Structure 1
Amino acid sequence: MSGEPTPAPARESRPTPAPSRPRPRPDAATAAELTEDAIVRFRGDRPTQGWRGTLYGLTGGLINPGIGPVERARQEQLRRIRRPLPGSHQIAVSSIKGGVGKTSVAACLGLVLAENRGDRVIALDANPDAGTLADRLTSEVSVTVRHLLDNIEATHSLTDVARYTSLAGRLQVLASEQDPAMSEAFNREEYERVCEVLTRFYNIVITDSGTGLVHSAMEGTLALADSLVVVGAPTVDGASRASKTLDWLIAHGHAARVANAVVVLSCDRVSREVDRARVREHFEARCRAVVEVPHDPHLATGGRIELSRLKPATHDAFLELAAHLADEFGAGQRPVEVSRATVPSYP
């Protein structure tokens, strides 16, 4: 009809050009990113603690209220500890003062890292005064770092290295020389030769160093360390010596290591007259993190250490320490060799 408007001619539709795809970059990512935590969609975490765990268990899993904040924090902590490490990472545990729990810290840190990671971890006793690291972990001191040094030219595989170590759970332990006259000869050059071998086959090398900061082996420890742990105590002498350790390191060109260090306050000796919060604040202002390890009857015996016998609060403290150190994993690490020989299986 003449009264109706004439429809406008249909406009020819043109396909929208597809956006150009960016060119692929083969080095944009690595296989280390494809972990279970990153790509698996969990239908719901299963609670194991508190009323949530009780409800989940009583209903046979039909009612899942999810995990609480405590379990969620623990899961996040374990994710940090299990962070992929593409190469090797050396951790030095040091103190200018003896008797503050340095060896206990090195031993428990090694046990926690080895228990919660899938790669290879070794603890090396570099104490020049007949160290007790192996005594605290395996009680095996008949074979020491001196035997490895004597045969280092013939050490070409993980199996070769394992001849000189003992096993504490999944942690390999390399004992120090027990004869003080011989251990004094363990100098920087020899320490560096040992670490050159260890970092070829182990992802994490923990060094329990001596208390002498000017000792030759200690110079090598500081030169090679990727992470530094300084052990002190919330007492006048323990805190003062730990802070003096940091002063000495800064004075000798290690200010960056101090800023990135983790301070452990071993609370075996405590006093109500000491302001522990003030001590903690002092080290928090100087270093990356501070961890307090509570008094533990099992560690106080001075005997062989077993993680299962630690108090929960003590175990938690070492998990916290391991998580802080694992936060630094992966930055500029040395590659670890793959041994062609048979790799010893872990229990």
Structure 2
Amino acid sequence: MSLPRPSASTIVTVPPRASLPAVPSRPGAEIVPAPFRGAAVRTRCVLVGGFGGGGGRTTVAAGLGLALAARGRARVVAVDACPDQYGMLTHRVGLGSGTSGVRELVTAQPPVESLTELRLYLRADGPGGLEVLPGVHDLTAPGLTAHELAAALDLLGRWFQVVIADGPPGWSQPVSATLLARGDQVVLSCRAGEAELAAAGHALTALAAAGRADLQASVLVAVVETYPTRLTRAARQHLGDLEAQARRLVTVPFDPGLTDCRPVDWYRLRRRTRAAFEELAAAADPADQ
């Protein structure tokens, strides 16, 4: 069932970057910290991140979101938090991207004040399913800023128990640093290859340098097989090192249903693929924390 689109009167022009208020910063990163949470809903922010491109972050964010929604124990939303990307996450989940996203949501006048109004900006696969907030709609405009993302997370956190962020590579750039500062859980995604597993190890240890050493022990690692994989001895060693450091390591097996960036049909995935995402979901579910 298609949700109504926001009317033209609710979308305003985004001010230029120069007019945005200053925020606390540290070398190499602009961070918008999390506000004090006094709302009735206790939100768990799950950052799906990693180092380098092609690590399966969007695939893992989609699979995790679908698995959490299928559990039916919390209201779940996923947000496309890549600064210069629109529609990839909604496409991966099999939803149309529409004409609005993060920027239109946070600049709406009058501001969004109810879940009903918020849902005008979300895409959904039906009642009780995963809901998705697309990213920046106009790719000719400036990319998503840390302030815009922070404002969107604040709004989503008022009505959703779980917010999954499909983040950009690394921990230090403004958007990813803001996600990390606000995160309750990190899902570290990487491909099942020797170099990629080594990079994932560096990403895990770099959490301390990024100011979130407290998240290291609870990291969930998702190793994505993008083709039938036979690991080398060195790759198996990296895999063992990751497993020893992380709270849980889950291998998402090769599945034709996940290839070529095609939309994910949850019920057509192989049983063991769904089981891998369900294992991640069980570890990230706030009802089990």
Do Structure 1 and Structure 2 share a fold, with TM-score over 0.5?
A: yes
8 Å contact 2:150–2:178 — kept in the other structure?
yes
Alignment of 1:203-214 (within 5 A): 203-214=161-172
RMSD: 2.0
Q: Would you say 1:287 and 2:246 are equivalent positions?
A: yes
Could you say if the C-alpha distance between residues 199 and 236 of structure 1 is closer, same or farther in structure 2, counting changes exceeding 3 Å?
same
In the alignment, what sits opposite 1:122? 77
Question: Aligned AA for 2:89?
Answer: L
The whole-number CA distance in structure 1 between the counterparts of 2:142 and 2:78 is: 17
User: How far apart are the structure 1 equivalents of 2:262 and 2:190?
Assistant: 21
Partner of 2:174: 216
Counterpart of 2:49, as a letter, is S
Q: 1:143 to 1:250 in 2, by over 3 A?
A: same
Q: Which residue of 2 aligns with 1:175?
A: 134
From 128, 131, 151, the equivalent of 2:108 is 151
Q: Is the 8 A contact 1:134 1:141 kept in 2?
A: no
Of the candidates 54, 59, 68, which is equivalent to residue 113 of structure 1?
Answer: 68
Question: Compared with structure 1, are the counterparts of its residues 300 and 159 closer, same or farther at alpha carbon in structure 2 (3 Å cutoff)?
Answer: same
Q: Which has the higher contact order (CA 8 A, sep 6+)?
A: 2
Q: Can you give the 5+ residue segments of structure 2 that lack an aligned partner in the other structure?
A: 1-39
**Distance in 2, Cα, partners of 1:320 & 1:261:** 14
The correspondence for 2:183, drawn from 215, 222, 225, is 225
Query: What is the alpha-carbon distance in structure 1 between the residues aligned to residue 70 and residue 109 of structure 2?
Result: 28
Query: Could you tell me how far apart the structure 2 residues matched to 1:295 and 1:179 are?
Result: 34
Indicate the percent of aligned positions where both proteins have the same amino acid: 29
- Give the aligned residue type for 1:284: E
- Is contact 2:41-2:159 (8 Å) kept? no
Is this contact kept in 1: 2:221–2:250, CA < 8 A? Answer: yes
Report the secondary structure of 1:238's partner residue.
Answer: helix
Residue 134 of structure 1: aligned partner: 90
Inter-partner Cα distance in structure 2 for 1:183 and 1:212: 20
Matched residue SS, 1:245: helix
Residues 210-233 of structure 1 show CA distances to partners (whole Å, capped at 9, x for unaligned) of 114322111110111111100012
Q: 1:325 aligns with which of 272, 284, 289?
A: 284
1:96 maps to what in 2?
A: 51
**Residue type at the aligned position of 1:139:** G
Q: Separation in 2 of the partners of 1:97 and 1:121? A: 27
Could you tell me the TM-score, scaled by structure 1's length? 0.66
Gaps of 5+ in 1: 1-84, 332-347
Give the C-alpha shift of residue 247 in structure 1: 2.7
CA distance in 2, matches of 1:212, 1:247: 12
The structure with the larger Rg is 1
Structure 1 position 300 matched with structure 2 position 259: yes
Matches within 5 A, 1:19-58: none
How many aligned positions are there? 245
Give the Cα–Cα distance (whole angstroms) in 1 for the partners of residues 147 and 253 of structure 2: 37
Q: Counterparts of 1:273 and 1:120 in 2: how far apart (Å)?
A: 41
| Letter in structure 2 aligned against 1:151 | A
Separation of aligned partners in 2, 1:136 and 1:259: 29
